[in-house]
Amino acid sequence: MTTAAVAVVCAVTVLAAPGTAFADPGPSSPPPSSPSPSPSAAAPAATPGKDLEAVREKLDELYRAAASATEEYNAAEEKAEKQNAEIVELAKKIVKGQERLDGLKDRAGAAARAQYRTGGLPDGAKLVLSDDPEDFLDGTGRVIQGQRATKGLLGELTRAQEDLKTYAADASARFKELEANRKAKAKARKKVEKQIAAAEKLESELEKEEKERLAKLEREAQAKAQTAWLDSGILKDLDAEATGRGRKAVEYATAQIGKPYQWGAEGPKSYDCSGLTSQAWVSAGKAIPRTSQQQWKQLRHVAVEDMRPGDLIIYFDDASHVGMYVGDGSMVHAPRPGRSITLAGAGSMPILGVVRPDTAPEQTPAPGQ
């Protein structure tokens, strides 16, 4: 059992080795001789005079699909880390349980040998042959105590064996779950790479002037969304002060501005959207879920008009993107592959809702401040 436990730990280490979770997918543009992407990832042909608005929409679709797959990957990675830790703990229990079982077996063997040495004659014969009946009776009492102790030892031995079987069964089940999760993570990775490759291929077919016009269209679309959001009058209600933790989280997130987006990454050199927000709150002393979907599901929801700096803004119906509100109608986020962490309008994308990692009350400014 001890050998099996060590083997489990070794296997887990191979399956979830540090450093493999956030590997850079590397260049994903296919060579000229490569076959075209599947219909689901196919992009409009890049030809002079093309409809750049359609191209922009297609790119947005591809990168959103990549973001959704990235969060699937991140969820699988987070789950794998927990499963790995559970298996290691179970392996430790197996080792300790085996040591305890071996000790109990030694004690049971010693008790059996002692009983054999003294149990050859019936009690009546021992009384007749005894020089001192009182010593005999004392000895009989000790034998009874020994028998009771032996019975308790055997019960403990049985429980130890049952515990060991349970630990082994649990470890086996967790290992199967880890293997299944590893496959899910690999599948999500392929989806990310496929969508990014299609988007990069589409962008690579654009001329320089077309890329400049496309970037302008992207900025205009974001500005239009932000203006509509501000015109709703939302800013007049956004006057809440950040908490101490909220300020620390904002300081961390804004300090990462300019660093590149990398899917699956959570710093310190690069981040994806939820990697940035989760690590910002870790730096503020608050652990939160790793993915934007779980942040949306598990953290406390607050109304948009009540958000304060440090709150997380969840975007799109599938909660596939997240940014951190920093005040004055702006948020900081890691946008997508090929972009860097930046400040943007909080309303520049469709808002699903707002969640609050920090449950501390709003901070009241001191007099004179």
Higher pLDDT, 29 or 92: 92
Q: What is the pLDDT of residue 282?
A: 95
Per-domain boundaries in the chain: 2-15+50-204, 211-356
3-state secondary structure of 238: coil
Tokens for 110, please give them. Answer: 């010693």
CATH of segment(s) 2-15+50-204: 1.10.287
**How many degrees, rounded to 5, is the angle at CA 191 between CA 185 and CA 197?**
135
Contact 314, 343 (CB under 8 A): no
Torsion of CA 300, 305, 308, 310, to 10 degrees: 50
CA distance 61 to 50: 18
Q: What is the pLDDT of residue 333?
A: 96
Give the tens place of pLDDT for each residue, 102-136. 776 676 666 666 655 555 444 444 444 455 555 54
DSSP 113: H
What average pLDDT score do residues 247-252 get? 94
Give the tens place of pLDDT for each residue, 188-225. 878 888 888 888 788 778 888 888 888 888 888 888 98
Q: What is the pLDDT of residue 37?
A: 42
Contact 127, 136 (CB under 8 A): yes
Enzyme catalytic residues: 273, 321, 333
Beta strands in the chain (DSSP E): 300-302, 312-315, 321-327, 330-333, 342-345, 351-356
Third-level CATH fold of 211-356: endopeptidase fold (from Nostoc punctiforme) (3.90.1720)
> Which band of pLDDT confidence, cut at 50, 70 and 90, is reported for residue 271?
very high
Q: Provide, rounded to the nearest whole percent, the portion of the chain with pLDDT above 90.
A: 27
Unique residue bearing structure tokens 């969820």: 75
Half-sphere exposure of 19 (CA within 13 A, CB side): 3
Fold match between 2-15+50-204 and 211-356? no
> Which band of pLDDT confidence, cut at 50, 70 and 90, is reported for residue 297?
very high
Contact 156, 104 (CB under 8 A): yes
Q: What is the pLDDT of residue 154?
A: 65
pTM of the model: 0.58
pLDDT at 298 over 90: yes
CA distance 292 to 315: 9
Look at residues 75, 68, 54 and name the one whose alpha carbon lies nearest to residue 195. 68
pLDDT at 178 over 90: no
